[in-house]
């Protein structure tokens, strides 16, 4: 019955996306992140996400409310990286798989660009954040509850057949979700919503710790340092951290706690750990691939010879790093473009933070810029040992960065009368969560 309801909803969603493509964007990300079809007995092989994307592309020429596409350092870097990935695919080594991987990445980039064009108001942007939080939060909150019910006796895994299935992927999703949850808790009018989101944050952090992912832990540590540096409430943050740590020690069995701390301690002597040796082998594989193909790299799927798709599964190794994955796939030029995109994202977030410093009507954008920067730092640092360079959640955050920057630019160009009207609103009395 639930499967029939889902399919009926999706058949209705397609014409809705034709008329209101911004709603199609929300539907797409719900399907992409929550993957409800994986939870139900639905007809296999129906590419709902791609159908929604196709519907939006058909509708967008007729949309009158779309904003002009902003040509910024971020968007130019994003398009340049994608075009380079397309060029490298034409000369990829494993041609039987490269175009399928390119198609998946092209869909991610297309939705990122469509999101920038169609979600250009604060209400739509906040709705998009809600969709991401609810879709992934369904799994992270459930994971946190699982940690509590089992006293942390088992590793937490993500939804099947998704980029977040294994522990490192799920830790990455949880880490990137927490800042978005916190933003919504800061700018939600109802108290019970704010309280519910704070509880969801605690459970999501528990789920992250329950994965036992060292990459997730490193990314979380980096993200917390950035958050701490910006926060106006450092004492409160330290107390919350101590409470969470005490809660973890209290509920997790001694054996599981020793296992987890043992895994974290291997960071200090990684050269002695088997998994670290596997990483070194994978990184050498990437460097050898780039040396053999210095300009175009091996193309999408270049690690196929190292992961068992083509070669012997007994010696399968993953890239174990965003940067070495891109190096092997896209060559040195592709790696430079990927790093340039990351730098552009951080600079845009920092610029939005500075521009809104003296604008109380834009404190929401200021808070979002800080939290997106926390997100980006967690992603970049965690990416040193975990490979998700093409993961859709990162490119969704890029879209949010571009959208908030464009809204701030428009607001700063408004005449003084418009600013006075904006400042007179009751919601504008709320100060920014972060230091001046």
The pLDDT tens digits for 300-352 are 988 876 665 555 544 446 788 899 999 999 999 999 999 999 999 999 999 99
Residue 243 has a pLDDT of 76
pLDDT tens, position by position, 46-59: 788 888 989 999 98
Strand partners, 434: 231
Question: Do 372 and 397 touch, CB atoms closer than 8 A?
Answer: yes
Query: Which of 113-117, 216-220, 257-261, 386-390 has the weakest average pLDDT?
Result: 257-261
Label residue 43 by pLDDT band (50, 70, 90). low
Q: Quick check: 178 pLDDT over 60?
A: yes
Which of the residue ranges 19-28, 59-68, 243-252, 367-376 would you say has the lowest mean pLDDT?
A: 243-252
Residue 231 pairs in a beta bridge with 434
Q: Encoding tokens for residue 157?
A: 């895994």
Is residue 110 within 8 A of residue 57, CB to CB? The reply is: yes
317 and 282 in contact (C-beta within 8 Å)? yes
* Secondary structure in 3-state letters for 25-55: HHHHHHHHHHCHHHCCCCCCCCCHHHHHHHH
pLDDT > 70: percent of the chain: 83
Please name the helix (run of DSSP H) or strand (run of DSSP E) that holds residue 196, with its range, or none. Answer: helix 191-211
> What number is the average pLDDT over the span 115-121?
93
DSSP string, 313-366: GGG-----SHHHHHHHHHHHHHHHHHHHHHHHHHHHHHHHHHHTTT-GGGHHHH
The pTM for the full model equals: 0.88
Spatial contact of 385 and 328, defined as CB atoms under 8 Å apart: no
CA dist., res. 25 & res. 392, Å (int): 13
Q: Assess whether pLDDT exceeds 80 at residue 14.
A: yes
CA separation for the pair 283, 325 (Å, rounded) = 8
Taking all residues of the chain, what is their mean pLDDT, rounded to a whole number?
Answer: 84
What three-state secondary structure class fits 384? coil
Tokens of 342: 């990351």
Question: What is the average pLDDT across 72-101?
Answer: 94
Element (H, E) at 268: none
Least confident of 2-6, 166-170, 180-184: 2-6
* Model confidence at 149: pLDDT above 80: yes
The CA distance from 332 to 339, in Å, is: 11
**Are 325 and 85 contacting, i.e. CB atoms less than 8 angstroms apart?**
no
Q: Contact, 297 vs 330, CB < 8 A?
A: yes
Q: What is the pLDDT of residues 250-279, one digit of tens each?
A: 666 665 555 555 555 555 444 444 466 777
228 class by beta-carbon count within 10 Å (0-12 exposed, 13-18 middle, 19+ buried): middle
Residue 429, pLDDT score = 40
pLDDT at 428 over 60: no
DSSP reduced 3-state for 388: coil
CA–CA separation, 181 and 183 (whole Å): 5
Higher pLDDT, 315 or 209: 209
Query: What is the pLDDT confidence band of residue 249, given thresholds at 50, 70 and 90?
Result: low
Output the pLDDT for position 160: 76
User: Cβ neighbours of residue 327 under 8 Å, at least 6 residues apart?
Assistant: 286, 287, 289, 290, 297, 334, 335
**Largest interatomic CA distance in the chain:** 69
- The residue that leads in pLDDT, 317 or 36, is 36
Q: Which helix (H) or strand (E) holds 13?
A: helix 2-19
Q: What is the pLDDT of residue 417?
A: 46
> Is 185 within 8 Å of 194 (Cβ atoms)?
yes
DSSP secondary structure string for all residues of 51-92: HHHHHHHHHGGG-SSPPPPP--HHHHHHHHHHHHHHHHHTT-
Chain-centroid distance, C-alpha 92 = 27
């Amino acid at each position: 019955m639930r499967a029939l309801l889902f399919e009926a909803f999706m058949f209705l969603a397609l014409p809705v996306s034709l008329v209101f493509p911004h709603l199609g964007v929300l539907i797409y990300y719900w399907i992409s992140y929550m993957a409800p079809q994986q939870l139900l007995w639905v007809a296999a092989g129906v590419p709902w996400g791609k159908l929604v994307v196709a519907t939006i592309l058909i509708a967008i020429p007729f949309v009158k409310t779309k904003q002009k596409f902003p040509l910024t350092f971020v968007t130019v870097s994003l398009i340049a990286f994608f075009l380079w990935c397309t060029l490298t695919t034409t000369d990829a080594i494993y041609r039987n798989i490269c175009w399928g991987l390119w198609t998946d990445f092209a869909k991610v980039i297309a939705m990122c660009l469509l999101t920038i064009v169609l979600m250009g108001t604060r209400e739509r942007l906040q709705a998009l954040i809600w969709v991401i939080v609810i879709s992934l939060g369904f799994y992270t909150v459930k994971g946190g509850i699982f940690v509590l019910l089992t006293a942390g006796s088992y590793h937490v895994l993500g939804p099947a057949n998704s980029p977040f299935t294994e522990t490192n992927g799920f830790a990455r999703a949880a880490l990137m979700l927490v800042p978005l949850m916190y933003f919504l808790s800061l700018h939600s009018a109802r108290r019970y919503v704010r309280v519910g989101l704070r509880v969801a944050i605690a459970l999501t952090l528990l789920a992250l710790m329950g994965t036992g992912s060292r990459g997730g832990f490193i990314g979380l540590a980096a993200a917390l340092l950035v958050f701490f540096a910006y926060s106006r409430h450092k004492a409160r943050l330290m107390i919350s951290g101590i409470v969470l740590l005490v809660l973890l020690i209290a509920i997790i069995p001694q054996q599981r706690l020793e296992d987890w701390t043992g895994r974290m301690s291997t960071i200090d002597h990684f050269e002695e750990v088997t998994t670290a040796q596997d990483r070194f082998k994978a990184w050498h594989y990437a460097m050898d691939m780039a040396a053999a193909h210095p300009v175009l790299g091996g193309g999408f799927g270049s690690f196929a010879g190292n992961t068992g798709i083509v070669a012997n599964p007994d010696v399968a190794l993953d890239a174990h790093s965003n940067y070495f994955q891109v190096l092997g796939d896209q060559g040195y030029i592709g790696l430079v473009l990927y790093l340039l995109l990351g730098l552009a994202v951080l600079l845009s977030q920092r610029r939005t933070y500075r521009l809104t410093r003296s604008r109380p009507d834009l404190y929401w954008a200021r808070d979002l810029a800080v939290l997106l920067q926390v997100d980006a730092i967690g992603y970049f640092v965690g990416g040193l040992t975990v490979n998700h360079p093409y993961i859709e959640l990162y490119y969704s955050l890029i879209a949010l960065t571009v959208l908030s920057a464009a809204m701030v630019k428009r607001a700063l160009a408004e005449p003084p009368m418009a600013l006075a009207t904006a400042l007179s609103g009751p919601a504008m009395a709320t100060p920014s969560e972060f230091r001046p």
